[in-house]
Amino acid sequence: MTLSDEALAEELADGTPSRVPSRARVVAGRFFRSTQGRVGFAVLALMFLLAFAGPLFSPWTYTDKDFTAFMQQPSARHWFGTLQTGSDVFAVTLRGMQKSLVVGLLAALVSTALAAVIGAFAGYFTGGPDRMLSWVTDLLLVLPGFLILAIMSPLFGAGHWPLFVIMLALFLWMVTSKIVRGMTVSVKEREFIQAARYMGVPPVRIIFRHVIPNLSSLLIVDATLNVSSAILTETSLSYFGFGIQPPDVSFGTLIADGSKTAVYAPWTFWFVAGLLVITVLAVNLVGDALRDAFDPSSRRGAR
C-alpha cells in the first residue's frame, strides 16, 4: 500500500471526507519521515545559511588583511584564525563555500537538463537522431574530462567562472542521458503518449510536456546527487589550480593552500576540509532520501 492509499484508508476509518494528497505532498511526507532525509536537509540548510548569512556577522571580509596577525590561532578577533597573508580564515572559508555551492548547484542543474533533453530526444526519435546523439554521448564518455578542463583552465580566470560551470556540466550528463533514453523508449509507448501523437501534437511538445515530466523523479534525484559530484570535481580541479582561479577562492583552492601548513597550523586546513565533508555528506543523505521517497515500493523511506 502506498502512502496515498494509507492516508485514504485512515480518513475513511475516521469518517472524515477523503482527499487524495498530491504527489508532491506524498513525496515530501515520505522524505521528512526518514531520519536521513531530516538530518540531511537540516545540515544542508545550515550549510547554506552559514555560507551566505555567516559573512554578515563577521567583522572581516575575504579580501581583508590583518597585517598584525599572520598565522594566528583561532581567537575572539579571528574565529578560525588567520592565514600566512593575514586573511581571516572564517571569512575566506565561507567565501569558498559560497563559490563551491553555487558551482555545484549550477553544474548539477545544467548537466541534468542536458541529460533530460538529449536522452529524451534520443529515445523518442529512433534511427538517425538516436544514433547521432548516442554517438556524441559515447564520445564524451571516453574523452578525458579532467585533462580537457585542465587545458582550458586559463580561460576560467578573471571572473569567467560561469564558463567553468558550463564545461564542468558538459562532462556530468552522459550516464544519466543513457538512462533517460532507455526510460523514454518505454514511456513513449504508453497510452497517453500514443493519444497525443494521434491528435497531431508535435513531437517536441510531447517530449517537453509529457515525456520529461514523467521522468521527473529520476531527474530530481540525479540533480541532487550531481551537486555533490560537481562540488568534489570542482574541488579536485581547483586543488591542482585548474578550476576557480585567483583572486577568487573555493573549497579546492583553500584546501590546496591549507595543506601546505596543515601540520603546524591545522586551522588553515581542517576547518575548510571539515565543512567540505559535511556538505557533501548532507547532499548525499538528501539524495538517498529523495530516491527512497520517490520509490513507492521502498519501505526505508517510510521509516
As a three-state string, the secondary structure of 219-248 is HHHHHHHHHHHHHHHHHHHHHCCCCCCCCC
- For 210-243, the pLDDT digits (tens) are 899 888 888 988 899 899 999 999 899 889 888 8
27 falls in which pLDDT band (50, 70, 90)? confident
Give, in order, the Cα–Cα distances in Å from 278 to each of 44, 174, 207, 225, 234.
8, 27, 38, 15, 16
Mean local confidence (pLDDT), 32-56: 93
CA–centroid distance for 134 within its chain: 25
Identify the pLDDT of residue 150: 86
Taking a C-beta distance cutoff of 8 angstroms, is the pair 162, 181 a contact?
no
DSSP alpha helices (H): ranges in 83-127? Answer: 89-124
Rg of the chain over Cα atoms, rounded to whole angstroms, equals 23
Taking a C-beta distance cutoff of 8 angstroms, is the pair 268, 89 a contact?
yes
Mean local confidence (pLDDT), 277-292: 92
In the chain, the percentage of residues whose pLDDT exceeds 90 is 42
Identify the pLDDT of residue 298: 53
Q: How many whole angstroms separate alpha carbon 3 and alpha carbon 240?
A: 48
- For 95-127, the pLDDT digits (tens) are 999 999 999 999 999 999 999 999 999 999 877
* 271 contact partners, CB below 8 Å, separation of at least 6: 80, 89, 90, 93
- For 62-95, the pLDDT digits (tens) are 988 988 888 999 999 999 999 988 999 999 999 9
- For 120-151, the pLDDT digits (tens) are 999 998 778 888 988 988 888 888 888 888 88
Taking a C-beta distance cutoff of 8 angstroms, is the pair 224, 108 a contact?
yes
Identify the pLDDT of residue 297: 61
CA–centroid distance for 21 within its chain: 28
Mean local confidence (pLDDT), 8-29: 60
pLDDT at 5 over 70: no
Mean local confidence (pLDDT), 6-27: 56
Identify the pLDDT of residue 68: 86
**Sign of the CA dihedral running 70, 75, 77, 82:** positive
Look-up: residue for cell 542521458?
177
Mean local confidence (pLDDT), 255-266: 90
Mean local confidence (pLDDT), 271-282: 94
Identify the pLDDT of residue 296: 58
- For 145-194, the pLDDT digits (tens) are 888 888 888 888 767 888 889 999 998 899 899 999 999 988 888 888 88
**Sign of the CA dihedral running 188, 190, 192, 198:** positive
Identify the pLDDT of residue 24: 78
Identify the pLDDT of residue 244: 85
The C-alpha cell at 7 is 492516508
Identify the pLDDT of residue 128: 82
- For 46-66, the pLDDT digits (tens) are 999 999 999 999 899 998 898
